[in-house]
Amino acid sequence: MPKADIAKIVHTIAEETNTPEETVARIYADTLDEYRAEARIHDYLTLFAERKVRATLRQNSTKH
């Protein structure tokens, strides 16, 4: 996936969750790395990572 697309995803998630882009970018990169390490098929990893980051940030925001 091009960096521009990843930057757009990170920006969108940051806006939706009211989280700094740097934080979202770090969580997204970490999540994607975890998925890549375990996956045999890589077609939808960016989508799965995006969903997990959103869920993680939503879950963390409800805890506060």
- pLDDT score at 55: 96
Instruction: Answer yes or no: is pLDDT of 4 > 80.
Output: no
- Host domain of residue 59: 3-63
- pLDDT over 90, % of the chain: 83
Instruction: Answer yes or no: is pLDDT of 14 > 70.
Output: yes
* 52-56: average pLDDT: 96
Where does residue 15 rank: exposed (0-12), middle (13-18), buried (19+ CB within 10 A)?
exposed
Mean pLDDT of the chain: 92
* 5-23: average pLDDT: 95
pTM: predicted TM-score of the whole model, two decimal places: 0.86
For the chain, what is the domain count? 1
